[in-house]
Amino acid sequence: MPDIVLTTLNAKYIHAAFGLRYLMANLGELKPSAAIAEFDINQRPLDIAEALLAREPKILGFGVYIWNVTETTEVIAAIKRVRPEVIVILGGPEVSYETESQAIVALADYVITGEADLKFAEVCRQLLTGEKPATKIMAAPLPEFSKLELPYDLYTEQDIAHRVIYVEASRGCPFTCEFCLSSLDIPVRQVPLDKMLAALQRLLDRGVKNFKFVDRTFNLNLNVSRAFLQFFLDRYQPGLFFHFEMIPDRLPEALRELIAKFPPGALQFEVGIQSFNDEVCELISRRQDLGRLEDNFHFLRSSTGVHIHADLIVGLPGETIESFGAGFDRLIALGPQEIQVGILKRLRGTPIIRHDAEWQMRYNAYPPYEILQNKFIDFATMQRMRRFAKYWDLVGNSGNFVETTPLIWKDASPFAAFLRWSDWLFAQIRRTDTIALARLAELLFQYLTTESHLEPKLVAETLWRDWQRGGRTEKPEFLRAHLPATEEDRSSKRRLSGLKRQGRHLPRSV
């Protein structure tokens, strides 16, 4: 049985815990007596506690994040009731700030704030030799990458086959956006390039196809960015996919030339715009050149096969619904394949709280600490925007309605039109999840033909093309009356008719 168990509750099974692997890689001589145990937030806390205690650890190290703190608190509470002698150490962004007010911190024995890659091993050595740390809350100094063991060899064959493979070329961010924890992590520190490229080569050799870089500013250092892109381009094979988070207004010609050489679908750029309102950006200390940003978008959409995932945030101080809507329309015109409409969160430790009084910012007291209302957006309107974001994911981002989505705002403001659709949809079904795709398509047809007064044949033909794009061949019943009948339709009708006749001969209990 291991002395040390490193554990966390992932948001989903496919999300491999990158931080745990860094801790494990840097345990040194303790590594043979340690193990990683991953769970997800959909599992019952008592079952997780049982599985962890079955390993009989002396030390449990928990990675705590905004998405798992509630469930992790319940797991630790159960463990401490049953086995109070097990030493619990917490780490992660959620417990790195405002520790004095957190229930999970009160339950734990020790907390390591900041980047614990080396500090965790140091604390474990103390505890296993019977020495107690001087304080419960310990701040980890920023580790130098030259002193860190990289964690990539700890990805298992199961991970490679079924999970997202996270990698990082740097940590930190040079910007000071007040809603983001990365703004507290200055300066930017690079992984030694030769060491990182060697690790990536080993992953490629093991068959990794999808690489998700977690760097906040992948294109900050031009020479490093070019080195990674050239490395992947030289080794490109069909099926490889690379995700990078990019600074939206920094795309010099040297990078453009390399990016344009990748085939369609090989690169995905996550581009955090957050707001097109200059006054809002100044309030939250966000610097970006919107002219360059738009030029970069035009280049990416016209001259490359890059898939663009762009982010906007609802609820920033000083942002009205009208100015957010104007920004949304502006982004739609730039043509990214996905737009993530995020609701502002008050992450622990971020300086966004300095605006609470002036802008009457009111956040949910429970994770994920989303904004409930502010000076310009009342609670009811913020709820409408939550539904807008959910429905946008289902319709605008899903890829299921590529041609149909623009019909929602035909000759109108995309934001205003989609908000009307969102309000109408919620009035029909009163929920934002567990909506069957066929039901959503039918509601979309109903809205476009009755509320938007579009010609049914046009809507039906557009929806049918979208339906088939996803590999679906069975024509939905609600579309049949508006599309030419095919032999497949007639055969399907005969099969259904036969089933109805057979049904008359079945016992009543069936």
DSSP letters along 12-54, please? STTB--HHHHHHHHT-GGGGGGEEEEEEETTS-HHHHHHHHHT
Q: Which helix (H) or strand (E) holds 139?
A: strand 137-139
Q: Which helix (H) or strand (E) holds 242?
A: strand 241-246
Question: What's the DSSP call for residue 429?
Answer: H
CB 174 within 8 A of CB 48: no
Over residues 343-383, the pLDDT tens digits come to 999 999 999 999 999 999 999 999 999 999 999 999 999 99
In 3D, which of 299, 253, 304, 248 has the Cα closest to residue 276?
A: 248
H helical segments located in 26-168: 45-53, 69-82, 103-107, 119-128, 157-162
H helical segments located in 188-272: 193-205, 222-234, 253-259
Q: What is the amino acid identity at position 356?
A: D
User: Which residues make beta-bridge pairs with 34?
Assistant: 4
User: Which residues make beta-bridge pairs with 244?
Assistant: 269
Buried residues in 146-172 as b, exposed as e (16+ CB within 10 A):
eebbbbbebbeeebbeebebbbbbbbb
Q: Is 468 exposed, middle or buried (0-12, 13-18, 19+ CB in 10 A)?
A: exposed
pLDDT tens for the chain, residues 1 to 510:
899 999 999 999 999 999 999 999 999 999 999 999 999 999 999 999 999 999 999 999 999 999 999 999 999 999 999 999 999 999 999 999 999 999 999 999 999 999 999 999 999 999 999 999 999 999 999 998 889 999 999 999 999 999 999 999 999 887 888 888 876 766 788 999 999 999 999 999 999 999 999 998 888 889 999 999 999 999 999 999 999 999 889 999 999 999 999 999 999 999 999 999 999 999 999 989 999 999 999 999 999 999 999 999 999 999 999 999 999 999 999 999 999 999 999 999 999 999 999 999 999 999 999 999 999 999 999 999 999 999 999 999 999 999 999 999 988 999 999 999 999 999 999 999 999 999 999 999 999 999 999 999 999 999 999 999 989 999 999 999 999 877 565 555 555 444 444 443 444 333
Could you give all domains of the chain from N- to C-terminal order, each with its CATH number?
4-142 (3.40.50.2300), 164-398+412-435 (3.80.30.20), 436-510 (no CATH)
